[in-house]
């Protein structure tokens, strides 16, 4: 079997916002198929489709009501087959989202389960009696805030939901649930998908004794939005039983050629990296995993270094997948703009850094354009948490607005009708068509950087070794000996100078905003450099000088 996923680059497609082919303002599978040449032209290895299954859309498809069909909003199974065939013809693997920890409350499984305590699927979800005073069984809270228990009058019990009440959690302690979910995965494997992105992969199991979660150790004031961070979620998720189910999934995929599992780990920063390591070590669990550790506000050399070093310390034989943006967080150019002078310069630096980390990489649609977060009014929101907690939290809609393909029409080539979320002028100006003709645009840089990554095998899998440098400089080497590549980044809006020895600028690297003269490496604001060891056998020397 090949290991195409190891060091590979995946491009996340949010189907509602990629391309509309029907004129209803919502993206769909034929639209994605139409635009796949753009993705293939970037030089990525695979695409990841966010959920496309039948759903009431309480959480934009992350509330699945049928695991083995396509929601009519997006098309048909024939449309899906056509998309997979086109992707494969272009050399792209296809990964689909699997939301296994919970279903929609409209799923037939849940409808049966809530019908009575003697129903066929009575034990397929997490049900519990109220406490004597009528309150929920324990103190577990929802990620979206509020109790994680919803009273059901038909069963006269509470059911558990880690997210919205419309997303009841499945009971993985029941072997029948595990078997049923594995069969849904087999359905898509037989249909030709190359892998699965596993939503909330550490949420599958809960504590069978329903013990309350302990409080977190906090010095900061009460949160303004979700109370979720006030607990240590040691009983409501990330249970030890989870590993055995990951092994069952891996065994299923090992029965097919060249398939891969990538898990999303949702947990506190001090635990997520350790969970990633635990879930990917050895050869019988996930192929790779990612967390939200690089999807926050932190933009410092110490932070990036610690995340990577901590992962490989915990799982020397494990494998991470790093990303800076996705459909759940504000776009990184907006998040990190306080550390830069120019958004496009920051976009290029972020691409160069992410694509030179050790691990696999996931790019979020529009990232290659340097897209910024869209500012929306309350009336334009669709995301339930944003609506509930406005204005302290504006939700996830700002990163989900449609791709601007063209300039000069009302809807930027995305649709012939008003899109489900607006494309505003700042984003419309960053459209694909205009950037395709601009060699200085982020799009050109992403293409060049992906070529450079393919040309330099050390960037896909070689070891990483960090140099001791002061902020704001991040520096590390990939590989050893004559093939070694030294990567240096100035994570600040001001220039810096480094003293280096035994190195030269890599002639085939994309534009670096760097100069090397007599051992002095000058990096402009948010500048970076890729340097060759030039055949040197000794350890390259990197010293920071203000």
Catalytic residue list: 199, 264
Point out which residues pair with 488 in neighbouring strands.
Answer: 475, 529
Torsion of CA 255, 258, 259, 261, to 10 degrees: 110
Which among 371, 528, 511 has a CA at the least distance from the CA of 451?
511
- Residue 541, φ and ψ in degrees, nearest 5: -105, 130
Whether 292 contacts 200, CB under 8 Å: no
Whether 294 contacts 336, CB under 8 Å: no
Q: Tokens 């299923």 sit at which residue? A: 252
* Cβ-proximal residues to 90 (8 Å cutoff; 6+ apart), any chain: 36, 37, 39, 40
Whether 191 contacts 111, CB under 8 Å: no
- DSSP line for 394-428: --SGGGTSPP---SSSTTTTT-SS--SS---HHHH
Which among 97, 95, 88, 84 has a CA at the least distance from the CA of 10?
95
Buried b (16+ CB within 10 A) or exposed e, 179-202: eebbebbeebbeeebbbbbbbbbb
Q: Is 468 helix (H, G, I), strand (E, B) or coil?
A: coil
391: cis peptide before it, omega within 30°? yes
Q: What angle do CA 360, 362, 363 make, to 5 degrees?
A: 140
* Token pair in block for residue 193: 């998908």
Which among 16, 180, 29, 188 has a CA at the least distance from the CA of 97?
188
Point out which residues pair with 192 in neighbouring strands.
Answer: none
* Cβ-proximal residues to 260 (8 Å cutoff; 6+ apart), any chain: 4, 5, 93, 95, 194, 195, 196, 253, 287, 288
* Plot region of 526 (φ>0 → left; ψ -120 to 50 → alpha; else → beta): left
- Residue 337, φ and ψ in degrees, nearest 5: -60, -30
Point out which residues pair with 197 in neighbouring strands.
Answer: 97, 262
Helices H / strands E in the chain, number of each: 14, 20
389, with CB counted inside 10 A (0-12, 13-18, 19+), is: middle
Whether 142 contacts 162, CB under 8 Å: yes
510 CB neighbour count, 10 Å cutoff = 20
């Amino acid at each position: 079997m090949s290991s195409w996923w190891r060091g590979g680059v995946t491009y996340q497609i949010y189907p509602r916002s990629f391309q509309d082919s029907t004129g209803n303002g919502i993206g769909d599978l034929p639209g994605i198929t139409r635009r796949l040449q753009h993705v293939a032209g970037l030089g990525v290895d695979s695409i990841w489709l966010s959920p496309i299954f039948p759903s009431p859309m309480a959480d934009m498809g992350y509330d699945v009501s049928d695991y083995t069909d396509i929601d009519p909003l997006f098309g048909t199974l024939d449309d899906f087959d056509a998309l997979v065939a086109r992707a494969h013809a272009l050399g792209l693997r296809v990964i689909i989202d699997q939301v296994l920890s919970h279903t929609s409350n409209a799923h037939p499984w849940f409808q049966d389960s809530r019908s009575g305590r003697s129903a066929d699927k009575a034990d397929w979800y997490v049900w519990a009696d109220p406490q004597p005073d009528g309150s929920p069984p324990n103190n577990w809270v929802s990620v979206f805030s509020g109790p994680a228990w919803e009273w059901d009058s038909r069963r006269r019990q509470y059911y558990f939901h880690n997210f919205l009440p419309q997303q009841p959690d499945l009971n993985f302690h029941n072997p029948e649930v595990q078997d049923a979910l594995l069969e849904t995965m087999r359905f898509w494997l037989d249909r030709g998908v190359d892998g699965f992105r596993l939503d909330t992969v550490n949420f599958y199991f809960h504590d069978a004794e329903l013990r309350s979660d302990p409080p977190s150790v906090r010095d900061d004031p009460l949160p303004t939005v979700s109370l979720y961070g006030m607990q240590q979620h040691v009983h409501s998720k990330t249970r030890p039983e989870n590993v055995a189910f990951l092994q069952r999934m891996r065994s299923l995929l090992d029965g097919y050629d060249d398939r891969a599992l990538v898990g999303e780990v949702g947990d506190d920063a001090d635990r997520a990296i350790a969970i990633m390591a635990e879930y990917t070590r050895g050869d019988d669990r996930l192929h790779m995993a990612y967390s939200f550790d690089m999807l926050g506000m932190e933009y410092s050399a110490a932070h990036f270094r610690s995340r990577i070093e901590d992962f490989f310390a915990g799982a020397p034989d494990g494998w991470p997948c790093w990303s800076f943006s996705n459909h759940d967080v504000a776009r990184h150019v907006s998040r990190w703009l306080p550390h830069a002078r120019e958004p496009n310069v920051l976009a290029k630096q972020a691409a160069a850094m992410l694509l030179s980390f050790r691990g696999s990489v996931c790019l979020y649609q529009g990232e290659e354009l340097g897209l910024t977060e869209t500012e929306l009014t309350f009336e334009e929101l669709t995301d339930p948490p944003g609506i509930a907690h406005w204005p302290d939290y504006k939700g996830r809609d700002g990163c989900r607005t449609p791709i601007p393909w063209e300039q000069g029409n009302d809807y930027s080539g995305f649709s012939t009708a008003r899109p489900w979320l607006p494309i505003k002028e700042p984003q419309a100006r960053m459209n694909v068509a205009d950037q395709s003709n601009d060699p200085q645009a982020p799009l050109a840089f992403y293409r060049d950087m992906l070529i450079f990554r393919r040309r330099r095998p050390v960037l896909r899998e070689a070891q990483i070794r960090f140099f001791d440098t002061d902020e704001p400089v991040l520096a590390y080497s990939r590989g050893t000996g004559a093939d070694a590549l030294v990567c240096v980044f100035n994570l600040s809006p001001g220039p810096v100078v480094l003293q280096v020895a035994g190195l030269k600028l890599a002639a085939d690297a994309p534009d670096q905003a760097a100069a090397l003269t007599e051992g002095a490496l000058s990096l402009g604001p948010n500048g970076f450099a890729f340097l060759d060891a030039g055949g040197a056998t000794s350890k390259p020397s990197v010293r920071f000088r203000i």
